[in-house]
Structure 1
């Protein structure tokens, strides 16, 4: 029976879109009424603090949902001190505060600590380009994020998260739950999924000529690596050097992460539909002959 080429292409595209929009566990893990009520109650009980934080964020062009970081960090309690020694609404450790000139004594000062948090969050976003990774980095530090990315060979949170401390993983879950309660979860997830098309990751760590900046995007088993290499005028072995194990991922999982140099990735994205269509044709044409 001759397969319907349009249906094959549509199925491949839907699989890819499904993967992009549902990056593994990235969703609220607790959508219960009790959870929503708890977060809303804390916000309602701290209207003045919340208002100041949201105003400070908006002044610097940051999304208001970042107020939820203070929510899960401290419940907006400026006098709280954690067991690890983090202080104030934003739970600054001394070393983190000192990076931005915030003294140890001023960590529980709402105005000074919020100003510092805004600067820190802005810096982290410029580095990671999505708020989920920013929340993780704010909790465990940039060093732990770098180690996790290297261990996973990926800069995508839903891939490298397993190499992070359990506390940080739970912290991100709490943030997503809080954003669900405030009606901002979809905005956070959309930001994450959009950033995945523009993420740059350094492979062959260290300095030197072997360093390459690779952008990454998701593909499904409908894509043929030979066709990708041909359409981008690349040597197949070079493509496989950037993507060790991708053939197995596509065959066994039906999907994988494609790495390409950041100057080549735009060409792939521009030709993506053509590459997928040609891949499907070349894969199924031999089976259509009578």
Structure 2
């Protein structure tokens, strides 16, 4: 039934949004010869580190263009420290590093920090389903992304970006420029546009009336739907209505896609760890 929603309304998503897919919602802001040359020169000057990063990404099934995140973060300089205290090639803040078990002193270790970055980026992609939002979240944090989504009433970067810090907006622009220089921009934008199809319309009783839009995330059988409802201050029957068959799917497969209205999804993502913790305690 969920797939039917996607198939039926995919065209409406494309037609009803501002712009068209082929024209792209996002693009590189600097495609000058000097910009392309600058990025390529930095990559060529750090070939050994770049090769290691690309291999580490490929081993985990991540696209090689994510090497451009390290490119714009640090120019591959493992000894750099930002004014805010971020350290190393991946510019880890202490709190971010500790979250993944990377010690403060190992933030400039190219091997350990890259391993940590790969884990962090994988987790972010599972959450946001597109690399543009991942790059934004890597820069400003998941909390700021959730606030921006809530303020904009949308989980699409080209809509909520205006509610992000200017530094983050510029960071994403730099990433797109770097990907243009490495001939990978189209791959990033295609990934972004494909992710838009993961937002589906919820239709009331087959009447064809759009009563809202749902965005999706993945949950496992550890989540208790009643606790999700309690944390979001809604009736659990609403969750069941938005997610027909979810109970059976969680029981049989151990995981399922969870659909929630776009205005509720940021709240769920902010409370996700708390909800899971409460759910597991209730099982005990």
What stretches of structure 2 of length at least 5 have no aligned partner?
A: 1-11, 214-240, 245-284
Kept in 1, the 8 Å contact 2:73–2:90? The answer is yes
- Residues 116-164 of structure 1: per-residue CA shift (max 9 Å, x gap): 0000000000000000000000000000000000001110000000000
Kept in 2, the 8 Å contact 1:23–1:158? The answer is no
Q: Which residue of 2 aligns with 1:285?
A: none
TM-score by length of 1: 0.66
Counterpart check, 1:173 vs 2:173: yes
What stretches of structure 1 of length at least 5 have no aligned partner?
A: 1-11, 200-214, 218-227, 244-259, 264-290
What is the CA–CA distance in structure 2 between the aligned matches of 1:138 and 1:180, rounded to whole Å?
A: 20
Q: Which residue of 2 aligns with 1:22?
A: 23
What is the CA–CA distance in structure 2 between the aligned matches of 1:34 and 1:169, rounded to whole Å?
A: 22
- Residues 245-277 of structure 1: per-residue CA shift (max 9 Å, x gap): xxxxxxxxxxxxxxx9566xxxxxxxxxxxxxx
What is the CA–CA distance in structure 1 between the aligned matches of 2:35 and 2:93, rounded to whole Å?
A: 28
Q: Which residue of 2 aligns with 1:131?
A: 131
What is the CA–CA distance in structure 1 between the aligned matches of 2:47 and 2:243, rounded to whole Å?
A: 44
Q: Which residue of 2 aligns with 1:45?
A: 45
Kept in 1, the 8 Å contact 2:14–2:21? The answer is no
Kept in 2, the 8 Å contact 1:125–1:134? The answer is yes
RMSD: 2.5
Report the CA distance shift for 1:65/1:262 in structure 2 as closer, same or farther (over 3 A): farther
Q: Aligned-pair distance for 1:233?
A: 1.1
Counterpart check, 1:233 vs 2:206: yes
Q: Which residue of 2 aligns with 1:111?
A: 111
Q: Which runs of 4+ in 1 moved over 4 A?
A: 12-18, 260-263
Q: Which has the greater radius of gyration?
A: 1
- Matches of residues 239-250 of structure 1 in structure 2 within 5 Å? 239-240=210-211, 242=212
Kept in 2, the 8 Å contact 1:176–1:185? The answer is yes
- Matches of residues 1-290 of structure 1 in structure 2 within 5 Å? 18-24=19-25, 26-199=26-199, 215=200, 233-234=206-207, 236=209, 239-240=210-211, 242=212, 261=242
- Residues 89-116 of structure 1: per-residue CA shift (max 9 Å, x gap): 0000000000000000000000000000
SS in 2 for 1:21: coil
Kept in 2, the 8 Å contact 1:21–1:193? The answer is no
Kept in 2, the 8 Å contact 1:151–1:163? The answer is yes
TM-score by length of 2: 0.68
Aligned length: 206
